């Protein structure tokens, strides 16, 4: 995943209410964030820029 990629939030059973509200929505990666061993990205989704773990996202168009 890189800045500018279109991504969709994956579904998982262990999500909290905040993440459940984002499941299935599409956004654009704006920036990379690194926090210890986990990789986070800033995703512009639903009119706001939000930090989301890369493992919770799937790339929509890999052929860019």
The pLDDT value recorded for residue 60 is 92
The predicted model scores a pTM of 0.78
The pLDDT value recorded for residue 30 is 93
The pLDDT value recorded for residue 9 is 93
Residue 32 near residue 54, CB atoms below 8 Å: no
The pLDDT value recorded for residue 64 is 55
For residue 15 the two structure tokens come to 């999500």
- CB atoms inside a 10 Å sphere around CB 3: 11
* 10-residue averages of pLDDT along the chain (64 residues): 90 80 92 77 93 91 63
């Amino acid at each position: 995943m890189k800045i500018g990629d279109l991504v969709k939030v994956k579904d998982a059973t262990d999500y909290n209410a905040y993440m459940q509200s984002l499941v299935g929505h599409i956004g654009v990666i704006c920036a990379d964030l690194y926090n210890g061993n986990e990789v986070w990205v800033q995703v512009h989704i639903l009119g706001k820029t939000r930090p989301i773990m890369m493992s919770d996202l799937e790339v929509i168009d890999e052929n860019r």
